[in-house]
Structure 1
């Protein structure tokens, strides 16, 4: 009964090709699986993800068990094809050559390429399923895999490719994390993605990048008449004001208007009273990283600092709100702010205050003005010209045309920026 053994042999060959395809698929699946997603699933108690991570942590043994069975099956399939060919056509060379080509084609299409494409496409779903049989096979063949890996490790040491202790090949750099966030647009909402990207920049920017420039700081001068000071206090949009004594650099301290309000109900306001209510100022070096300053504010229950340069000259003021807005964007405050109204007019231009922060201009208008030097539009124009500009002067910084609209006290008070041409 020759038909029965031949049919059995063909069925066995088909079964071998299926198992070979499964091992090929498992190899691609385990190598292509997202380890961070597996770790998330494992932290939620997923047994398959936990097993998959354990296998991936011993890559040599994982690949050893997969390739051991895969090669044994492929060798058995090739031998079986030779047996079938001899039974059908005898010991003919052309028949054996044709059989070799046939089994190569079958293995390549049905046991290699197709399974690996499927495994790569559905790696995360299949990895948690393949982890169970692979862990079992590794357990029962552990000594064989260990023996084989002795030679593998010896070869790696000879060619100096053996991994060093503590080597974390799957650790991500900041730039790689940034790329992952950018490419996760379909998973992370736009606003959340923007916050995460801003967080990556906190280590690269300083308080000088986010501070309110010295020229835009509102404060009171104790050398002014008390009537003028009282009027200024009554119309201020801020709860804390700097207190000067004659010169802007001579900062006495910070006045909290809530404390002043309680005192004004009981007595008359005068200069001596203001001096007694002023809190000691806190100074911040201009090169302090924003992230470090945020930590200091949190640990010391502070909300405001005065930014000074290496000579102690006052450059500006930074608050915890400035740092938070750098991370999450502008939010509603009680003070009028034109920053949120920055947008191109119909003629492709926008009118901007000279003290406006360059980083904010770039962010809101989609420009690429240099921020590694001056931090404000006024500073950029003055540095570019190396002189105090006159009203009506036009310049081009990179591909951005800028026109000086108004100057005052050696400062650019207002400028018009034109949208770069394509």
Structure 2
């Protein structure tokens, strides 16, 4: 009874299973259930011991009391303890549902004795300052993650991955998945109309940030669909209509957990946000699609070992773009680089070096080795990465 899976039991009871309903009713008061079982168990054991002692004395005299007690102990140990409890442990549901037929009426029959025993027990517990558990069951995030991870074939692998990703949303922030500032594609509102139209034609995105003079000064978001309304009869884009199509920007404080931001996107009816630091300086952009990909995986490409930013080499090493996020490296290459510091490989290596390096500089982080191939200004452009071979001692 006590080894039943409580969550499965509740599910089956809600589904109308009679045995599950009886077991659930018994487990609502576990102290009364234990009292019922122990009272019945001790009553039977003591009665059997008394009968065995009387029979031994009558049949073989006083000298048979000790051998009879030893024999009875072995019989009880094997046939009344080990075997039935082992069977019950392997077949807990089947046994619990069956014995519930007996335990429910027995509990009612022994109610006066159970009431007295329970009050004496609670009195002793109060004297020892041991508080009674309220019986409520709460499961934490780590326990839930363990349950999902150990579900085995009961949950398909893809679904299990999605569930684990959902549980991890609380530990991941918008800083981990945002498009960094230097990679943001935007349009300067002060540029001439021809320049704006040319940039719109080259744009690969549906929603485009619009800034004034500098990318830090975001003034709005332009949707490609809204541009249609600014086209006149001659097929030319009217600047005034284009400016009116710009929507107000939506700003996100850096460090916002993804589970919170998912709720905020839903509440604000938004699909793109501008991540800013405590001083209001733009750090990057986050889209709803980026967030959903953290749950269901990549929409446009699968996570193979060959991507635009990570290229697998013939010698087993990887050619990695310096702007690649540490999380993407860990996810694609199955590595375990630290994610509690810098978000990109460039930042991670600079933090380790504590200076701006030149090309051909090597860096080791744990068992991982990085060789800087190309620098562009103060940005690490390209890195060769591999796992250091184990040395023999």
Do the structures match in fold with TM over 0.5?
Answer: yes
Shift of 1:270: 6.0
Q: Does residue 1:103 correspond to 2:72, yes or no?
A: yes
- Find the counterpart in structure 1 of residue 383 from structure 2: 415
**Of residues 25, 31, 44 in structure 2, which corresponds to 1:54?**
25
Distance 2:45 2:311 in 1: 66
Alignment deviations for residues 254-278 of structure 1 (CA, whole Å, 9 cap, x no partner): 1111111343354523655543322
Query: What TM-score results when the alignment is normalised by the length of structure 1?
Result: 0.86
Tell me the equivalent position of 2:157: 190
Asked if 2 retains the 8 angstrom alpha-carbon contact of 1:395 and 1:403, the reply is yes
Identify the residue that residue 154 of structure 1 maps to in structure 2: 123
- Name the residue aligned to 1:315: 283
For residue 372 of structure 2, give the secondary structure of its aligned residue in structure 1: strand
Matches within 5 A, 1:145-294: 145-163=114-132, 166=134, 168=136, 170-264=137-231, 266=233, 267-269=235-237, 272-294=240-262
Looking at structure 2, the residues matched to 416 and 350 of structure 1 have their Cα atoms a distance apart, in angstroms, of 6
Task: Tell me the secondary structure at the aligned position of residue 186 of structure 1.
Answer: helix
| Count of residue pairs the alignment pairs up | 386
1:141 corresponding residue in structure 2: 110
If asked which structure has higher relative contact order (CA below 8 Å, sep 6+), I would say 1
Q: Deviations over 1:164-216 (max 9, x none)?
A: 5x463x32111111111111122111111111111111122211112111112
CA contact (8 A) 1:343 1:365 kept: no
Cα separation, 1, equivalents of 2:375 and 2:231: 39
Contact 2:229 2:241 survives alignment (8 Å) = no
* 2:317 paired with 1:349: yes
Q: TM-score, structure 2 length as denominator?
A: 0.92
Distance 1:121 1:358 in 2: 45
Q: Do the aligned partners of 1:215 and 1:355 also contact (CA within 8 Å) in 2? A: no
Point out where structure 1 has 5 or more consecutive residues left out of the alignment. Answer: 1-29
Q: Give the alignment of 1:357-376 within 5 angstroms.
A: 357-376=325-344
Structure 1 moving runs of 4+ over 6 Å: none
CA RMSD of aligned residues (A): 2.1
- Secondary structure of the structure 1 residue equivalent to 2:338: coil
Q: What do the CA deviations read for 1:22-73 (whole angstroms, capped 9, x no partner)?
A: xxxxxxxx11111111011011111211221221121111011111111111
Task: Say which of 32, 38, 44 aligns to 2:15.
Answer: 44
